[in-house]
């Protein structure tokens, strides 16, 4: 999965358009929980905007949609 994400980010100006990263993981991995999402965010100098465990819950989906709307509203040229 990581290779596909990196390939996507390296394509044209995709990385320049990335304003945040979301990631899912297993909290049993302690400090490695969402390590990949955090690493990608650090490399792109953008925040981790949302984290969820495993596949997430319906509440996670609801909260993620709110976060996406908030991030989008902060982008230049958006009302």
Exposure string of 54-70, with b = 16+ CB inside 10 Å and e = fewer, is eebeeebeeebeeeeee
Structural domains of the chain, with CATH? 2-73 (3.40.50.360)
For residue range 20-78, list pLDDT tens digits in order.
999 999 999 998 999 999 999 999 999 999 999 999 999 999 999 999 999 999 988 76
44 exposure class (CB count in 10 Å sphere: 0-12, 13-18, 19+) = middle
Q: What is the pTM (predicted TM-score) of this model?
A: 0.84
Query: How far is 50 from 33, CA to CA, in rounded Å?
Result: 13
More confident residue, 4 or 77: 4
For residues 37 and 79, the model is more confident at 37
pLDDT-derived band at 79, boundaries 50, 70, 90: low
Element (H, E) at 58: helix 58-73
């Amino acid at each position: 999965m990581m290779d596909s994400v990196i390939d996507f980010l390296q394509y044209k100006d995709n990385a320049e358009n990335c304003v945040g990263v979301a990631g899912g993981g297993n909290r049993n991995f302690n400090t490695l929980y969402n390590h990949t999402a955090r690493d990608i965010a650090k490399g792109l100098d953008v925040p981790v905007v949302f984290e969820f465990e495993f596949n997430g819950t319906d509440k996670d989906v609801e909260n993620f949609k709110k976060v996406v709307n908030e991030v989008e509203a902060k982008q230049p040229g958006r009302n």
